[in-house]
C-alpha cells in the first residue's frame, strides 16, 4: 500500500538521489574527454567509445528493467543497481588504459539504466494514486536536471582536480543511496520465478546495441559509405524483426510488446520519443554553439545552462499540483511545447555579438517548457496501463525517450555537416571581384592594413583571411540556427499525438498491485 508522511518523502529522496546519480554521470564525462585523451594516450575517434559504450549499455538494459524487477524483486534489483554502479565508478577512476575505462563504463551503463525505470516504478508504488502527478514531477527533477548540471560539475572538477574525480564523486552519493534504499525501500511483492527468455535477451542486446552504435557513429563514418555501418543497419533490421516476433510469440517475454494495445501508451511513447529528441539535441547543440562559435568557456556555458535547470526544479512540483487539481495534461503539454518553440525562435535570432546575458531569458524559457512537458507526457503515456504491466511500461517509455535523443543527435550532426557546406557555398557566391559590396569591404580592409604598416601583398592576404574567417562564423551561425529550429519542428509534429490520447481532467496512473 502507498506510504504516508515522512516515510513517503524519505523514499522519494532516496530514488531521486539514485536517478540523479545516473543521469549526471551520463553527461559529466563529456567535458573531461580532452583530459582523459591526454592522460590515457587515446585518439579522438577512440575516446568517442567512452560515451558510446555507456549509452549502448544504458539503452540495452532499459526495456529489460521491468522484467528484471519482477524476476528478482524491485527492491533487490534497485539496491543491486546502486551498488554495482558505485563499484564501477571506483574502478573507472582507477583505470590505467582506455580499454579498461570503456569496460567499466559498460558496467556503469548496465547498472545505471536499471536505476531509471526502477526509480520511477518505486515512486508510483510509494505515492497515493491521487498524487501520482506530483510523484512523476519529483522523478522529473533527476531526469531533467541531471543532464543539465552534469557538464557544470564536470567542468569544475576538470578545472580544479583531475579526471578520475568525475567518477570518485559518485562513491559517497552511491553509498548514501544504497544505505537509504536498504533501510527504507520496501519490497511490496515477492519475485516471480518466471522462465528466462534467453533468446529474447540475446536478440535485444544485438538489436539495441547495434542500433545505438549505428546512431552514435554513423555520421562520423559517413553512414552507408562505411562497410561496418551498413552491416550494423542490416543486423538491426533482421534481429529487430526476429526480436519483435519472439516477444509476441513467447509466454514469458523479456519485453512485453502487448502493452502497446493500450492506445494512450502507444501514442505516449511517440511523444516521449519526440521529447527525447528535443531535450537531447538542445543539450547537444547549445554548448557547441556557445563555446565553438561565441567563445564561452566550459564553466560559463555550464553555469548558463544551469539557470534552465533551476527553472525546471522550481516549476516541476507546481506541474504535479496542477495535474492533481484536474488541469488536463494535454493543455500543460501544449504550453510546454509553445515555450520550447519560443526558446528556439529566440536563440535562432541571436547574432555573433551575443553574450551570456542574451541567453539567460531563452534558457529560463526552455527550463519552463521542459518542466511543462516531462510530467504530463509520462502521465498520459501511463494512464491506461494496468498495475501488473507498469514496470514494463516505464522501462519501454524511458527507452523510447533515450532513443529519441540518440536519433536526434545523429540527425542533427548529419544536418549540421550538410548545412555547413550548403551555407558556405551560398555565402561564397557573394565573394567576387565583380561584387561592388565585396570590393568596397575588401579595399577598405587592405587600406586599413597598409596604414598600419603592412605591405600591400601582406595586406591583401590578411584581408582575405579576415573575410574567410567571417564567412566561417556566419556559416556556423546559420547552421546552428537550422539545428535549433529542427528541434522545435519535432515538437510541433508531436502536438497532434498528445490530443489523440484520452482526455481526462484527473489522470490516475495505476500502481503495482501489492
Per-residue pLDDT tens for 207-259?
A: 877 887 787 677 667 777 778 888 888 988 898 889 888 888 887 777 777 78
CA–CA gap between residue 210 and residue 236 (Å, rounded): 6
* Chain Cα centroid distance, residue 108: 16
Q: Which of 25-34, 286-295, 321-330 has the highest mean pLDDT?
A: 321-330
Range 347-371 average pLDDT: 83
Which residue shows C-alpha cell 569591404?
Answer: 441
Q: What is the pTM of this model?
A: 0.70
Q: Which of 382, 404, 399 is nearest to 501 (CA)?
A: 382
At 496, list the grid cell: 497532434
Structural contact between residues 379 and 133, judged by C-beta atoms closer than 8 angstroms: yes
Q: Which residues contact 447 (CB under 8 A, 6 or more apart)?
A: 459
Per-residue pLDDT tens for 466-508?
A: 766 677 777 777 777 777 777 778 778 888 888 877 766 555 5
Per-residue pLDDT tens for 263-276?
A: 888 888 888 888 88
CA–CA gap between residue 282 and residue 229 (Å, rounded): 26
Range 390-395 average pLDDT: 74
Range 444-452 average pLDDT: 69
Q: How many CA atoms are closer than 13 Å to the CA of 191, on its beta-carbon side?
A: 13
Amino acid at each position: 500500500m502507498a506510504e504516508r508522511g515522512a516515510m513517503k518523502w524519505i523514499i522519494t529522496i532516496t530514488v531521486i538521489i539514485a536517478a540523479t546519480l545516473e543521469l549526471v554521470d551520463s553527461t559529466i564525462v563529456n567535458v573531461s574527454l580532452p583530459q582523459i585523451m591526454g592522460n590515457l594516450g587515446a585518439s579522438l575517434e577512440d575516446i568517442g567509445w567512452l560515451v558510446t559504450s555507456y549509452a549502448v549499455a544504458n539503452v540495452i538494459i532499459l526495456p529489460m528493467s521491468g522484467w528484471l524487477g519482477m524476476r528478482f524483486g524491485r527492491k533487490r534489483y534497485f539496491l543491486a543497481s546502486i551498488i554495482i554502479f558505485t563499484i564501477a565508478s571506483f574502478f573507472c577512476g582507477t583505470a590505467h588504459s582506455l580499454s579498461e575505462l570503456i569496460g567499466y563504463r559498460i558496467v556503469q551503463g548496465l547498472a545505471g539504466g536499471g536505476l531509471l525505470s526502477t526509480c520511477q516504478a518505486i515512486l508510483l508504488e510509494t505515492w497515493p494514486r491521487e498524487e501520482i502527478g506530483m510523484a512523476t514531477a519529483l522523478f522529473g527533477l533527476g531526469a531533467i536536471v541531471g543532464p543539465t548540471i552534469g557538464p557544470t560539475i564536470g567542468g569544475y572538477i576538470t578545472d580544479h582536480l583531475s579526471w578520475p574525480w568525475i567518477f570518485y564523486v559518485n562513491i559517497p552519493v552511491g553509498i548514501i543511496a544504497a544505505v537509504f534504499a536498504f533501510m527504507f525501500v520496501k519490497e511490496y511483492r515477492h519475485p516471480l520465478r518466471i522462465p528466462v527468455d534467453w533468446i529474447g535477451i540475446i536478440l535485444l542486446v544485438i538489436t539495441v546495441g547495434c542500433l545505438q552504435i549505428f546512431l552514435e557513429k554513423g555520421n562520423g563514418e559517413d553512414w552507408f559509405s562505411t562497410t561496418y555501418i551498413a552491416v550494423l543497419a542490416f543486423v538491426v533490421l533482421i534481429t529487430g524483426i526476429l526480436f519483435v516476433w519472439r516477444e509476441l510469440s513467447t509466454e514469458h517475454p523479456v519485453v512485453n510488446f502487448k502493452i502497446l494495445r493500450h492506445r494512450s501508451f502507444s501514442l505516449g511513447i511517440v511523444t516521449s520519443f519526440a521529447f527525447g529528441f528535443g531535450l537531447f539535441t538542445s543539450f547537444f547543440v547549445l554548448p557547441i554553439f556557445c563555446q565553438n562559435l561565441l567563445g564561452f568557456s566550459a564553466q560559463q556555458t555550464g553555469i548558463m545552462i544551469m539557470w534552465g535547470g533551476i527553472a525546471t526544479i522550481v516549476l516541476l512540483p507546481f506541474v504535479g499540483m496542477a495535474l492533481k487539481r484536474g488541469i488536463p495534461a494535454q493543455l500543460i503539454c501544449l504550453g510546454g511545447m509553445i515555450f520550447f518553440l519560443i526558446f528556439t525562435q529566440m536563440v535562432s535570432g541571436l547574432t555573433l555579438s551575443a553574450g551570456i546575458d542574451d541567453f539567460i531569458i531563452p534558457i529560463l524559457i526552455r527550463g519552463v517548457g521542459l518542466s511543462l512537458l516531462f510530467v504530463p507526457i509520462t502521465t498520459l503515456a501511463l494512464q491506461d496501463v494496468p498495475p501488473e504491466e507498469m514496470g514494463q511500461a516505464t522501462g519501454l517509455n524511458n527507452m523510447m525517450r533515450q532513443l529519441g535523443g540518440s536519433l536526434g543527435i545523429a540527425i542533427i550532426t548529419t544536418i549540421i555537416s550538410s548545412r555547413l557546406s550548403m551555407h558556405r557555398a551560398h555565402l561564397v557566391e557573394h565573394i567576387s571581384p565583380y561584387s561592388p559590396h565585396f570590393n568596397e569591404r575588401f579595399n577598405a580592409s587592405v587600406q586599413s592594413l597598409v596604414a598600419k604598416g603592412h605591405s600591400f601583398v601582406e595586406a591583401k592576404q590578411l584581408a582575405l583571411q579576415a573575410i574567410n574567417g567571417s564567412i566561417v562564423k556566419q556559416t556556423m551561425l546559420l547552421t546552428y540556427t537550422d539545428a535549433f529550429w529542427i528541434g522545435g519542428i519535432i515538437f510541433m509534429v508531436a502536438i497532434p499525438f498528445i490530443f489523440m490520447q484520452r482526455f481526462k481532467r484527473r489522470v490516475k496512473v495505476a500502481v503495482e498491485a501489492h
